[in-house]
Structure 1
């Protein structure tokens, strides 16, 4: 069985948040590893990289069927992951991968998710992420 989540982000919204709130916004949304990874991107592509990671966090939350804490003033009755609970990191080959902790990891374990795949892409204006979660039902 597969679960899928996709999210599209306007790069300008991330750029505006960084310009307005600076390090406070970056530290709230991105882990230290994510911030460091985006810092090595050329300045012109930094906002695209940040937007793609934001989209990945949202897409992963959608694939898991959970929300993200801190993204609005609405109340929900299901678990919500913190923004740092879903981390976009690179593997040894440079491919983006997801590292889950907290509510995100607990939910993935409860759903018996065996693997996550993430794909990121962006233009100057938009960033998109797709997350596929694989559940092994062979033992069911």
Structure 2
């Protein structure tokens, strides 16, 4: 049973501008330590960060909270499995909200083109 869905689209240039202005502070605000390590090795940091931003915003929308209060960017982590499939993990306030909704699983898809990154999240029981 689906307990929540969310989507987000972001202009990669917007994230690139913010990354240029704020540098590591922006990455630290959005990314978990494990994601920050992946960012350092990525060939296109703005694209990487834009996809993580979109994923976390979409997940927060699926929870029905948005990014606020106990549900912050660090409550979500995006990693990739051995085949490259993105996997979303919820922790802290996001995990608590997911449980309150009766959810147990998070499904994430990411896509990007020249100008945009998009994420779609489904939360299921």
Would the TM-score normalized by the shorter structure come out above 0.5?
yes
Asked whether 1:53 is paired with 2:52, we answer: yes
TM-score (norm 2): 0.91
Q: Deviations over 1:91-122 (max 9, x none)?
A: 24332111111110000111121211100011
Partner of 2:32: 31
Partner of 2:12: 11
In the alignment, structure 2 segments of 5+ residues that lack a partner are none
Aligned length: 124
Asked whether 1:123 is paired with 2:106, we answer: no
Over aligned residues, Cα RMSD in angstroms? 1.4
Q: Secondary structure of 1:88's match? A: strand
Measure the CA separation in 2 of the matches of 1:93 and 1:108.
Answer: 26
Structure 1 runs of 4+ off > 3 angstroms? Answer: none
TM-score (norm 1): 0.82
TM-aligned CA deviation for residue 41 of structure 1: 2.5
Measure the CA separation in 1 of the matches of 2:39 and 2:71.
Answer: 22
Q: Is the 8 A contact 2:112 2:118 kept in 1?
A: yes
Q: Deviations over 1:4-47 (max 9, x none)?
A: 100000101110111001111111111111122233322xx321
Q: Secondary structure of 2:73's match? A: coil
TM-aligned CA deviation for residue 80 of structure 1: 4.6
Measure the CA separation in 2 of the matches of 1:82 and 1:124.
Answer: 28
